[in-house]
Amino acid sequence: MNFHTTILGSSAAMPAFGRNQTSQVVNHHDRLFLLDCGEGTQLQFQKYKIRSSKIGHIFISHLHGDHWFGLAGLLCSFGMSDRTEPLHLFAPAATLEILTLQFKYSHTVLQYPVLFQPIEDFFKGEPTPENPILWEDNDLQIKAIPMKHSLPCWGFSFEEKPQQRKIIKEKLPPNLPYPLLHDLKNGKNIEWNNETIANESLTTEGAKPKKYVFCSDTVYNEAMIHALAGADLLYHEATYMEDKTIAAQDRMHSTAAQAASIAHQSQCKKLLIGHFSARYRELDGLLQEAQAVFPATQLATEGESFEV
């Protein structure tokens, strides 16, 4: 699998019934991105054989403890493992103040650079971007999506960029110069030997770009549907079953059926539900309620990897 997410934690608020607090690792062509870092995440790395040294970017959705209390310990462990590569940290602005205080009184000095970027800063300026790009390279861009929760909170959308066209080598004219090969990959027709050659005669379409969206803590919120549209895989919190709809509303969380409704309305291909309340030892009821609305639903089972 070249683009997948591995679930490290799927429990809400506190560990329960062997389920850890929220965390997952997105692997995009062997580059690792950590989403949230609940307490105990380091043990999950070991348990599920995740090479934490390969994590170059960490994204923290919000500052409720079950989503980030493992961060300070992880950063310290990186230092004790002789890390020298920079770490990119995208998190709420107050994260830096808290980490600085923790490191001050524990006399911790990290021997590698942490490039901290407050998520709020991406929403400043005129015009204010609705879903700003937090990070990108030639292949991938990662956007922030505002959630509706009791603290400032964001989800994250991993969106592949359009792929270049693939050249059919056996159809190429001999000795075709590199600049013309570059034009072909970018979908252009070319001029060669006083002849116009149609791009489609020498290339095929590149792989279809894929999209993974992580929706952290949020009440049912149709305003974000446009940002999720067409996702190949959507993770959406599903803290409660339908008989706790009022509790979900009061605590600004979602039910499994509400998560499924969002997936259906946004025309996603597959749905993962997680962030399960500690009241549920067994999760079959949540899965059944979600599948009744959106059949292509799976539980975010810890240790499992789900292809985008």
Of the residues 154, 180, 203, the one at which a domain ends = 203
Query: Are residues 121 and 227 both part of a single domain?
Result: yes
At 126, the pLDDT band (50, 70, 90 cuts) reads: low
Q: Residue 128: what pLDDT?
A: 65
Q: How many domains does the chain have?
A: 2
For 227-263, the pLDDT digits (tens) are 999 999 999 999 999 999 999 999 999 999 999 999 9
Q: At residue 135, what is the residue type?
A: W
Query: Are residues 109 and 41 both part of a single domain?
Result: yes
Q: Which one, of 235, 241, 263, lies nearest residue 36 by Cα? A: 235
Of the residues 203, 228, 262, the one at which a domain ends = 203
At 222, the pLDDT band (50, 70, 90 cuts) reads: very high
Sign of the alpha-carbon torsion through 5, 10, 14, 15: negative
Percent of the chain with pLDDT over 70: 99
Q: Residue 187: what pLDDT?
A: 81
Backbone angles phi, psi at 33, to 5 degrees: -125, 125
Query: Are residues 190 and 50 both part of a single domain?
Result: no
Quickly count: other Cβ atoms within 10 Å of residue 79's Cβ: 17
Query: Are residues 186 and 96 both part of a single domain?
Result: no
DSSP states of 209-243: P-EEEEE-S----GGGHHHHTT-SEEEEE--B-GG
Interval 180-188 mean pLDDT: 80
Q: How far is CA 39 from CA 4, 14, 70, in A?
A: 23, 9, 4
User: Which CATH number is 104's domain given?
Assistant: 3.60.15.10
User: For residue 174, is pLDDT > 90?
Assistant: no
- Is 45:8 a contact under the CB 8 Å cutoff? yes
Q: Residue 156: what pLDDT?
A: 98
Query: Are residues 43 and 142 both part of a single domain?
Result: yes
Give residue 199's domain range. Answer: 170-203
Query: Are residues 174 and 218 both part of a single domain?
Result: no
**Average pLDDT score, the chain:** 94
Active site residue 66: yes
50-59, 110-119, 180-189, 258-267: which has the minimum mean pLDDT?
Answer: 180-189
Percent of the chain with pLDDT over 90: 82
For 15-57, the pLDDT digits (tens) are 999 999 999 999 999 999 999 999 999 999 999 999 999 999 9
At 178, the pLDDT band (50, 70, 90 cuts) reads: confident
Query: Are residues 93 and 226 both part of a single domain?
Result: yes
Query: Are residues 154 and 31 both part of a single domain?
Result: yes
Q: Residue 302: what pLDDT?
A: 97
Query: Are residues 38 and 79 both part of a single domain?
Result: yes
For 82-108, the pLDDT digits (tens) are 999 999 999 999 999 999 999 999 999
Query: Structure pTM?
Result: 0.90
Q: Residue 195: what pLDDT?
A: 85
More confident residue, 170 or 245: 245
User: For residue 1, is pLDDT > 80?
Assistant: no
Q: Residue 5: what pLDDT?
A: 98
Query: Are residues 134 and 45 both part of a single domain?
Result: yes
Q: Of 66, 121, 139, 232, which is the active-site residue?
A: 66
Query: Are residues 198 and 109 both part of a single domain?
Result: no
Query: Are residues 143 and 56 both part of a single domain?
Result: yes
Q: Beta strands of 63-210 (E only): which ranges?
A: 87-91, 114-118, 133-136, 140-146, 154-160, 166-167, 190-191, 196-197, 203-204
Q: Residue 182: what pLDDT?
A: 81
Q: What is the Cα–Cα distance from 185 to 283, expressed in whole angstroms? A: 47
Q: Which residue has the tokens 């060669």?
A: 192
Residue 144 corresponds to which tokens in the numbers above? 């922030």
Q: Residue 127: what pLDDT?
A: 65
